[in-house]
Amino acid sequence: MRKLGMSVAPVTEYMAKLLESFMTEIRGNRQFTYFDGRTAMGIILDESIHAWIWTDYGAAAAYGHIETYTSDRKNHVCRFGVCVGPDYRKQGYGTRVVERLLEEAGVLGLEKVNASVYADNAPMLHIYRDKYGFTDEGRYVHEERWAGEARTVLSLAKFI
């Protein structure tokens, strides 16, 4: 497992090029479609999105965000987004990202975290359910299409 060159930082305008290059690498990945139709600056300038990027000796390795709601009825709830670059999978980055996002959600005073995960994304389901105690809240059968294939999306949640 690589550790020596790993660092994490909040995504700022200064990091736009790094985030955009990571997004370009990830676009078209069947496990993380959040970047589709978005730009790095769009994410950075959106006040409801709190994002971090993990690097390994300067190369983008993983990304995570907390997306908050502006409605008074849902301002205690957020959504997580987690993506690990292809060259960094199975090295503990997903666990580190979720751990950091849970810490940050607590700092923000949030009470509930939601995450949407494709039913066939076993590594992320393992992290959310087994390592951090997320529970299933919903199953959306044939919710999205990928290359003509219908995919099921699971909604998971955790109370902080």
Q: Are 65 and 50 in contact (CB under 8 A)?
A: yes
Q: What's the chain's average pLDDT?
A: 93
pTM here? Answer: 0.92
Q: Which of 44, 125, 131, 136 is nearest to 96 (CA)?
A: 131
SS3 44: helix
Q: Is 54 in contact with 91 (CB distance < 8 Å)?
A: no
Phi first, then psi, for residue 96 (nearest 5°) are -60, -40
List, for residues 30-43, the tens digit of each pLDDT value. Answer: 878 899 999 999 99
* CATH class name, domain 6-114: alpha beta
82, 134 contact by CB (below 8 A)? no
Is the pLDDT at 4 greater than 60, yes or no? no
